Structures are given as structure tokens and as C-alpha cells.
Chain A
Amino acid sequence: MKAKKSVRDRLRLDAIRRRATPIENHIIDEYAAGKITRRDFIRRGTIIGMSVSVLGFVATACATDEGATTTLAGGPTTTGGSGTTGGPTTTGATGTSGSTGAGAIRAAMITPAGAIDPVLTNDEGRLAILGQTGQYLAFSDAELNLIPVLAESWEPNDTLDVWTFNLRQGVTYHDGSPMVADDVVAVFTNIASGNAASAYETFGVTPENIVAIDEATVEFTLAQPNGSFPFFVSSDNYNGIIVPASFWDSYAEGSYETEFPGTGIWQIENHEPGVSASFVKNQNYWGDNAAQPEQLEVIFFADEAVAVTAFQEGRVDVIPHISSSGGQALLESPDATVASIPTAQHRQVYFDTSAPPFNDKRVRQAVALTLNRQVLIDGLLAGFGTVGNDHPIWEFFPMFSQDTPAQRAEDLAAAQGLLDAAGLGAFEAPLHTLVFAEVEDLAQLIAASAAQVGITLNLGVFDSGTYYNDYWLAAAGSMGIVNYGHRGVPNVYLAAPLLSDGTWNASHWVNETYDDLYNQFASAPDLDIQRQLSGELQTLLNDEVPFIVPYFVDHISITQPNFSGLVVTGMGHVDLVNASVS
């Protein structure tokens, strides 16, 4: 019986491999050879557009001992039919709902920073609301899988510079009109090609040409090959909400708010800017939303204390995202279910490498050696974070290289030795930062740590407008701290702040070896090669320390004990399709 099954499996595997593209076959080879884990195989496969059923079959058929181990709950939890159900890896928040979908749920969410508008959105408050009424071609879930949503599948050409997306059929907007390829072309032409004043992050992968091949097929031609391109048109780039092409005819800042057009599971009922929003279930949703509650009531909070009291009073069922400091009162409470997921969000403590004293890498290494990272995580994040090693390649990225370099730990003697070798006695330098989450306190603790080896860091704390305008890129012999939000792939972290001509290179760090390595990394289709290059990048960055990455920050959600079915991502997307209150 077993032998028969394995023969059938082999035949099916052969058939799959015959139909597969060279890039797909390459990934299957890597997995079969045990070079990548099952988890990485599935993640990588979803990016280049392999279907979930094929991935699942190949993962089982080619399983190796090593390949079968997963540390996170592996693989997408969707069957491809319903778009946004990749679950977080937490306990307490993931429960599957068997409810009939009656009733209403009440959520406290971060106040949107401005008009709800896909073009202008650059903050978590807005992207979380946009994701209720709107959808993306693909959804980047908490485990870095790319789940097909409005695109059913996609595939690159052999050189990875032309990507074809096959759109899901039978999808309609809230007003009943069908979603077609022209809509997708219009969205990306407007936000990514400079037609609209957009907050869209192009990351240097701006499509050169976007065309509708037919009603259900869209083709993106890129200036440079990019193996991770689908992430740039997924929920990772939250400006890419798919709206009808007609939306652009009369587009003005904020015009999205008149109807909240989209294909999402909720339709807008009422929106009072800065106060509240209410939604009703989309009865004509293309996917399975049988379990979805009838109504969603959102209250916005500008101050986390407001969300905490609303929760304590029982006025809300769920706070999809709260900081460890703001939510402190609830973290230990028996009346609250706390769930967290690791994310790639991190703070970069950068040095101006173009001027003394930080133009000497020994000085930068010395500052990095004064930090006790676990103490920072425990003190500033109540333990909700993972230690960073002075490069932005998060340990859960598939291309993260486990081997190199060793984790940097507090070592004051070594730090003093490096300063002595650099010929520096006690010195002073400015440390600028912005008011954001725990960053101000982080600055204080860095200053206190550096003081142990005779470095006096003079703090300057500014509001974000002042900081980004006057201090961020103007760093002169100073240090600074910036925040980088979660992304499904590290390209944005590795390009803009680190390339010699990077647009956000606050360190003013110029390193040709790095530029060359990064360019190879960005166009490498092969995870094995990417991982090898990643190892080199990690080592180089850890040694050069253009910036310190002290830690990565977890995403914390809080729910009432009778609430289940919350799905969140590291970026702040909130999916409540299976939410219920028992």
C-alpha cells in the first residue's frame, strides 16, 4: 500500500516538475537536497507564485529529515480560496471560529494620521482601516508567506524582470462592479509611477511598464531583476489597495473617504475622522466569510491609555496592536488575553561615519559593545522583542544566515580596548532622536551605557517632523535613532539606509563591497545563494557597524478572554474575518 502510494507520488511529482519553470524546479531541487527547510521552501514558493496545493504536495513528497522541522507553524494556513487567513503563531489569538458570524465586534485601533486614502497612507492607523474595506493582490502574512488574494497566481520570466499576475475571477467591488485587470494597472500606474503624490515606497523596484494582457492578466516589467517583486505589490506595500479604475478619474486627497471603494470583507457604514468607524459585513464577498460577524465597530485612540480603559471597562473586545509600555496594565491582567508575534520592526542607532569620531569603525564597535541588549528588551519592551546583532536581517527571514557572525554582547573591557586603540580618550558627541514609542528611553539607556567607557552622548529629542526634516540625514559627527517598520523581505532595510547612494543613508556610509554584495543579493533567484550573500552582508555590517540594531520589536495584541479569531501581521494589518465573541 505504502509502496503504491509512493509510486503515485513520484509520478505526480514528475508531472509537476515537467510543468514547473526553471526557477520553480530550482527551489524544489534545493528543498529535495535538504538545503532549505520546509518552511523556507513554502515561503519561497509562495513568492515566485507556486500554488499552495503544489507546494504542500512537494513539501511532503520531497520531505527530508531536516526539511520536516519547522520552528514556526509552517506554511500558509489557507487553501488559496480565502485570501487573508494566514494565522499568527501565537496562542490565544488564533482560535478557529465555529460561530455563525452573528453580532458585532468592537475594536480599539490607532487613530489614522490623516484622511483615509490609499495614496497618502504611511501609518499603521490608516493601513489597518484600509485593510478592512480593501484588498491587495497578495497578503504578506505574519509568517512571511505570500497568500494569493486578488491575484490567484503569478509567475516571473526566467530572468526575473517580467512578472505576470493572474487575477481572481468573479471578484466584485462593494457596488457590484467587477474587478478587472485595468483596475490593477490604474492603481500601480498612479501610485508607483509618480502620477499621484503618493507615499508609496518604490524601493528602487518601480515598474517600468505595467500592462493589462487581458481582463484577468497583468504584466509588470521591471528595470532590474527582482526575485521578491510580489512583495512590492502585496499588503507589504499598503498603498496598493485595489480600487476601480474610475476612482482615479476624480481622485483628490481624501476622496477615498466618500465611499471606501474596495473588494474587502467589510463595507463602510459610518466614519467620523479621528473618533470612530463602523462597518457592515460584505454580503457579496468573493471568498468564504460565512463565519464573519455582521458588524465591526472601531474606536480610534490617540493615546494608548484610552484603549486600555476602554478595554478594562469592557467597551472593546480587541486591541489589535498596543505597545508594551502603553499596554502594561493589561499585560499581567488575568482578564486579558495577550498575544505577540515577532516582527522585523527595529530601531537603527546610526553613526555619522563621514566625520570624527565615528568615522573610525573601532569607535562604532566600542559603542555597540557597551549595550546589554537583553536588559534593553526587558526594560524597554517588557521582554517583547528579540536581540539584534547590528544588521537588519531579521532571524526569521528565510535568507537569514544562521552561522555568522557571533552575537555581539556587552563587553566593556573590549570596548575600552577599541577606544584606546583608536587613540580616543573621553569624548562627547550628540545623539539625536525622535519622540516615538520607547525610543526616547532607548536613547537615555544608550547614553548611560556609553558613559561607562567615557563617552558622553548629549541627547537631543525632537518631534518626528523636526527630526526627519532637520536632523535625520544631516547627521554631523553625531548619532541618531530611527524606526523601521516591519517588511516581509529585507530589501528596504538593506538598500535605502545602507547603499552608498541610498536615499535614507543617515550614516553617510560608503562601501563599494557592500553595494556590490547587495546588488547580487537583490537579483539572486536562488535562496541558497541569497543566504550565502546574506551571511556576507551580516558579517560586513556587524563588523562595520554603520548602525546598531539593538533589538527587533514584537507586535502585541490584547483580546478579551471570550474573543477569538484575530489575525494580525507584523506590519499592523488586522484581519477579523473569523473573529467572534462567545
Chain B
Amino acid sequence: MGRFIVRRIGLALITLALLSVLVFIGTQLLPGDVGRRVLGPFATQESVDILNARLGTDRPLLVQYTDWIGGAVTGDLGDSITLARPVTELVGRALLNSAKLGALAFVIVVPLSILGGILAALRRGKLVDRIVTVGGLSATVIPEFVSGIILILVFAVTLGWLPGTASAPRGSGFLTQLRHLILPAMCLVLVLFGYIARITRAGVIEALEADYTRTAILKGLPRSIVIRREVLRNALLPTIAVVASQVGYLIGGLVIVETLFSYQGIGQLLVGAARNADFPLLAGGVLVVGAVFQVSMLLADLSYSWLNPRIRLGGSG
């Protein structure tokens, strides 16, 4: 197990290093002179040159990269070019916001969709199954900007039950913040529910039809015990992998929801950075999101292997 963890961490670090190079190259491919982007088309060329010199964007790429990665290793991601503030401060705050929203969506969608998937599998072909599969799929294919606007129009504008913005006023308490996050979280639940529920349903059906389940039933074990011990433990393995893979999306991929609900999360921050060719902010943000993704995948792998001894034993089973 120890070796497994060390190997996974090593792989994660290599991935992050590769990511840093890719991000760097990618941001260099962004068209436009950095100084020109910051100052706009109407500034004089002299001003643009002065700014480029001050930002160091007129130096050779390799120098810029080593300078940046050297800082990144020590936790200094530099300053944002457009916002003129430390990247760690900006990314940290945005990441915290994204994490709050992602966590709420996660807490709602995971139990709900697993329960839905199990019920659908146990009542295969019945009304519950139809509702979960067809309803879930329909909700998944509706883009967030459509479901989000519908949620805002119904619950915020017409009924006035919940605020249509995710940003709570300054200094709000936990409950107020939670209230502001409900609608955007619902938007994410709609996207994820059908997906996770269907994976769970498929896993449960497969386990129900497996030989070990039939053996357990034939042994005369009560149905509830068979489901708990034999079916769920095996059926939830793929679900866990799927859920873990959504953590990255929930943290870094919420651009549309964040924009719609006016929420300063990491997605919106990075889109703004890309738009303004703000290299330090974009690269630092992507690196941090990459790290979060790696950690969540690592945790998923660990829990997966804990549940599935064949992986834990290095594939020798």
C-alpha cells in the first residue's frame, strides 16, 4: 500500500510538472502583446514598451519560465498582470469560493444520485426506474445556462424564495452564504444527478446478476443483507471513480454557473486571465486546479483500492 501511494504521488508530481510546461507554452501561444493587452489599443507604443519591460514579458521565454517555475516551487506564483495582486491571494480566494459551491453540490448530489441509482436498479423497468433514468438524463443534457436561467427566473425573480446570485453580502453568516449557494448548487445537481445515478444503477444491476449474489441468495441470506454486503460493495466501485472524477469539474469547470450567478470562483478567474493574456494568473490558477484534481484522483484511487483488494495488491490478484 505504501509503495502504491508513493508511486501515485510521484506520478502526480510528474503530471503537474508537465502541466506547468504545457500551460506556459499555451499562454505564450495566446495572441497579442501583453503590454498592449493591458493598456489597450489606444496607448502609445512607448507606454506599451515600458510596461513590457516592467513586467518582464520582453525577456526570452526560457528565462520567463524558469523564473516563474522557480517561484512556484517556493509557493510564490508572482503577481497578476491585470489585477496587480499576488496570484496566490487571488487564486486562494477564488478556490475557496469554488470549494464552497462544489462541496454543497457534492453533499446534495452524491447521496441523492446513489440512492436514485439503487432504487432504479432494484425497481428495474418500473416507474421509479423510468423517472430516474429518463428524468436524470434529460436534466443532464440541459446546458447549465438554460437550467440556471430557469432556476433564477422561477425561484429568484418570480417566487422570490432564494437569491439569484451566489455572492452573499460582505460579512454574511454561514446560513446566508448557504442560502445564496442553493440555486447554483441545484444547477450542478441537475447536471450530475443523471450521470452518477445511471452509473450506480448499472453497477447495481450487474452485481445483482452476478454469481456471488445468486449464491448468497441461494444460501438463504435475507435480501437486505445480500444487497448491503454483496451488491452495494461491488456495485459502488465504478460510482466512486466517477464521483471522484467530477471533483475537478466541480472545482475548475464551473465557468458558466459562476458567470450566471455572479460568483467569483476559480473558473471565472481563469477565463478572465486567459482573455487578458494574464500569464502568471492563468498559469498559477491552472497549476493549482491541476493539483486539486490530482489530490482528488489520488484519494479516489486510495478509496477504490481499499474497496477493491485486486488493485491494492498490485494487480497480482
Contacts and interface: CB of A to CB of B under 8 A. Distances in A.
B272 A270 contact: no
B99 interface: no
Given A194-B46, A198-B43, A313-B156, A276 B167 contact: yes
Q: Which of B36, B40, B41 has the most chain A CB atoms inside 10 A of its CB?
A: B41
B167 A252 contact: no
A437 to B, nearest CB: 16
A466 interface: yes
Interface in A277-327: 278, 299, 301-303, 305-306, 309-310, 312-313, 315
A271 B213 CA distance: 61
Interface string B28-45: 001111011111111110
Contacts of B51: 197, 253
A199 B42 contact: yes
Interface stretch (A112-120, A418-426, A512-520, A554-562): A112-120
Contacts of B170: 270, 272, 276, 278
A466 B82 contact: no
A196 B82 contact: no
B177 interface: no
A194 B45 CA distance: 10
Contact of A123 (B40, B54, B160): B40
A306 B262 contact: yes
Contacts of A312: 157
Contacts of A120: 38-39
Contact of A196 (B36, B38, B41, B50): B50
Nearest to A203: B42
A199 B40 contact: yes
A410 interface: no
B139 to A, nearest CB: 21
B84 interface: yes
Interface stretch (A353-361, A397-405, A468-476, A522-530): A468-476
B276 A114 contact: yes
A466 B42 contact: no
A255 to B, nearest CB: 8
B16 interface: no
Interface string A95-121: 000000000000000000111010010
Interface in A243-272: 252-255, 257, 270, 272
A379 interface: no
A201 interface: yes
A303 B259 contact: yes
A417 interface: no
Contact of A306 (B35, B54, B165, B275): B165
A47 B85 CA distance: 39
A272 B94 CA distance: 11
Contact of B37 (A272, A278, A465, A470): A465
A423 B252 CA distance: 57
B32 A201 contact: no
Contacts of A201: 42-43
Contact of A197 (B35, B84, B277): B35
Given A122-B40, A302-B262, A115 B83 contact: yes
A122 B43 contact: yes
A273 interface: yes
Interface string B236-278: 0000000000000000000000011110100011001001110
Contacts of A472: 41
B84 A194 contact: no
B48 interface: yes
Contacts of A123: 40
B85 A115 contact: yes
A278 B170 CA distance: 10
Contact of B85 (A122, A194, A254, A313): A254
Interface in B121-163: 149, 152, 156-157, 160, 163
A194 B157 contact: no
Contact of B264 (A117, A194, A275, A468): A275
Contacts of B261: 306
Contacts of A465: 30-32, 37, 275-277
A239 to B, nearest CB: 10
Contacts of A198: 39, 43, 47
A504 interface: yes
B102 interface: no
Interface in B31-83: 31-33, 35-44, 46-48, 50-51, 54, 81-83
A257 B82 CA distance: 13
Interface in B154-211: 156-157, 160, 163-165, 167, 170
A200 interface: yes
Nearest to A470: B31
A463 interface: yes
A interface, by DSSP: helix, strand, loop or mixed?
Answer: loop
A544 B302 CA distance: 72
B101 interface: no
A312 B165 CA distance: 12
Contacts of B109: none
B140 to A, nearest CB: 23
A202 interface: yes
B297 interface: no
B90 interface: yes
B31 A466 contact: yes
Given A299-B262, A309-B156, A463-B275, A117 B46 contact: no
B84 A253 contact: yes
Contacts of B167: 275-276, 299
Q: Which of A255, A303, A309 has the most chain B CB atoms inside 10 A of its CB?
A: A309
Interface in A102-155: 113-115, 117, 120, 122-123
A114 B48 contact: no
Contacts of B264: 272, 274-275
A270 to B, nearest CB: 6
Interface in B1-42: 30-33, 35-42
Contacts of B269: 274
B88 to A, nearest CB: 14
A122 B82 contact: no
A248 B83 CA distance: 19
A299 B170 CA distance: 11
A202 B261 CA distance: 39
Contacts of A299: 165, 167, 262
A199 B262 contact: no
B149 A305 contact: yes
Given A197-B35, A197-B54, A199-B42, A254 B84 contact: yes
Contacts of A113: 82, 276
Contact of B47 (A197, A313, A466, A470): A197
A194 B43 CA distance: 10
Given A114-B84, A197-B39, A463-B275, A468 B32 contact: yes
B301 to A, nearest CB: 35
A464 to B, nearest CB: 8
B33 A469 contact: yes
Contacts of A504: 41-42
5 contacts: A114-B38, A201-B42, A274-B83, A275-B167, A465-B31
Given A302-B259, A463-B275, A468-B32, 20 more contacts: A114-B38, A115-B85, A122-B40, A197-B43, A197-B51, A198-B39, A199-B43, A255-B84, A273-B83, A274-B83, A299-B165, A303-B262, A310-B164, A310-B262, A313-B163, A465-B30, A465-B37, A465-B275, A466-B31, A472-B41
Q: Which 8 A-B pairs have the closest CB atoms?
A: A254-B84, A122-B40, A197-B51, A114-B82, A115-B84, A465-B32, A197-B50, A469-B32
Interface of B: 30-33, 35-44, 46-48, 50-51, 54, 81-85, 90, 149, 152, 156-157, 160, 163-165, 167, 170, 259-262, 264, 268-269, 272, 275-277
